Amino acid sequence: MPLLKLLSDGKFHSGVELGEALGVSRSAIWKRLKTLEDDLGVEVFKVPGRGYRLEEPLSLLDAERIAGEGGWPVAVLASIDSTNAEAQRRLQQQQQPPFALLAEHQQAGRGRRGRAWVSPYGKNLYLTAVVSSQGGIQKLQALSLTMGLAVIRTLQQLGVEDAWLKWPNDVLVRGRKLAGILIELSGDPQDVCQAIIGIGINVNMRMANDIDQPWISMAEVLGGLQDRNQVASLLLREIDSLWQIHRQSGFAALRGEWERYHGWQGRAVTLSSGVRCIQGTVAGVAEDGAILMRVDGQIQAFSGGELSLSLDHDS
C-alpha cells in the first residue's frame, strides 16, 4: 500500500506532503488513514501542525528481495484470511510448487488445533511454503519437526541463540512462544501430494491482547526492530535445504539434531490427548515424528496430544 510505504519510516508526514506524493487530496489521505486503522488495525498518530506518523517504523516485505535471496518464487499479499488458505486456493488453481506466500496481515490466521494466530499488520512473519511429494504422505512424516529445525537455524543466524523446540511444532525462547508451525496436506495421499507449510514468527510485535499463552518476539530478544525481509529470506533458504534432506532421507537424517534442541528432552511431562493424561519422561522422538516417553518403565510412542511440563514431578 503506497500510503503505508510513505509512513513506514515512523516519521511525521503532513497531509499536504502525503497528498502530493500520491496525487490525491488531503481529505482522500484522511479517508485512507481511517481505512488503515479500521481494516488493518494500523495505529496512526495525528498531531496538529506536524502531521501523521506510525507508532514505530515498519519493516515492509519486499517480494523481489525475498525471492532473490531466498531462492523461491514469492508473492507478498497485503491482507488475506490466511496464507495457508490462500496456498490451498492456488493449488486448486493449478499453481505448481514450490512457491511461497507471505502476508503483511492475516484476518484469520490459524494455529494448531484450530487456534487463532494473532497477525498484526507489518509486525511479524506469516509465511507459507508449498512443496510437492511424489511418495504420498509417508514421505511427509515428521515434516513439522524438520521445519522446526529450519526456524531454529534461521534464528541462530540472526543472533537468537537460546531458542528451543517443543514437540511437535513450537519454538520457544525463555519459556515463551516465539514461533509455530502448521502443516496441511493437499492432493493424493497415496501418490503426488503437496505440503502446505505455514510458519508464524513473532518478529517485531510488542503488544497483543488476544494471545492465550506467554509469547516473546525477536525484537524483545535482540533489543530492537528486525528486518523481516532478512528473516524471510534466511527462513526460505533453510526450508529449501532441510526439505531436500527430508525428501531424500526422511526425518531420520535430522532426528539427532532435532533432539539436541528439544527443551523437553529428559524432562518429566504430562501428555494430554483428549480426555487422557499420560505422565512420563521424554526419551526422544521416533523417525516418524512420534514423541517417545518412558511410562512406568517402558518406552512408548505417542503421535498426538498436547505436551506440557508436569507440575507434580521435580524436573
What averages of pLDDT result for each successive group of 10 residues across the chain (315 residues)?
85 87 87 83 85 85 93 92 94 95 84 61 94 88 96 97 92 94 90 94 82 85 94 97 96 96 92 84 94 94 78 47
177 belongs to an annotated ligand binding site: yes
84 belongs to an annotated ligand binding site: yes
Q: Are residues 84 and 198 in contact, defined by beta-carbon separation less than 8 angstroms?
A: yes
Q: In this structure, which CATH number among 3.90.550.10, 2.40.50.140, 2.30.30.100, 2.60.40.10 belongs to the domain 268-309?
A: 2.30.30.100
Q: Which residue has the cell 541463540?
A: 161
End-to-end alpha carbon distance in the chain = 50
pLDDT of amino acid 307: 79
Residue 249 to residue 233: CA distance in whole angstroms = 25
Per DSSP, the residues of 121-156 read TTTSEEEEEEEEETT-GGGGTTHHHHHHHHHHHHHH
Residue 258 to residue 115: CA distance in whole angstroms = 25
pLDDT of amino acid 291: 93
pLDDT of amino acid 315: 41
Question: Would you kindly state where each structural domain of the chain is located, as residue ranges?
Answer: 2-54, 63-260, 268-309
Calculate the alpha carbon distances from 57 to 25, 88, 205, 285 in Å: 24, 32, 12, 42
pLDDT of amino acid 4: 85
Distance of CA 117 to the CA centre of its chain: 9
Q: In this structure, which CATH number among 3.40.640.10, 1.10.10.10, 3.30.930.10, 3.40.50.2300 belongs to the domain 2-54?
A: 1.10.10.10
Biggest alpha carbon–alpha carbon distance for the chain: 74
Residue 204 to residue 212: CA distance in whole angstroms = 19
110 belongs to an annotated ligand binding site: yes
Sheet containing 170-173: order of strands: 74-80, 99-106, 125-133, 193-201, 176-187, 170-173, 163-166
pLDDT of amino acid 198: 96
83 belongs to an annotated ligand binding site: yes
Residue 312 to residue 25: CA distance in whole angstroms = 65
- Amino acid identity of 282? V
63-260 architecture in CATH? 2-Layer Sandwich (3.30)
- Amino acid identity of 315? S
Residue 164 to residue 167: CA distance in whole angstroms = 10
**HSE-up of residue 51 (Cα within 13 Å, Cβ side):** 17
123 belongs to an annotated ligand binding site: no
Per DSSP, the residues of 35-85 read HHHHHH---EEEETTTEEEESS------HHHHHHHH-S-EEEEEEES-HHH
Residue 51 to residue 117: CA distance in whole angstroms = 33
pLDDT of amino acid 212: 67
82 belongs to an annotated ligand binding site: yes
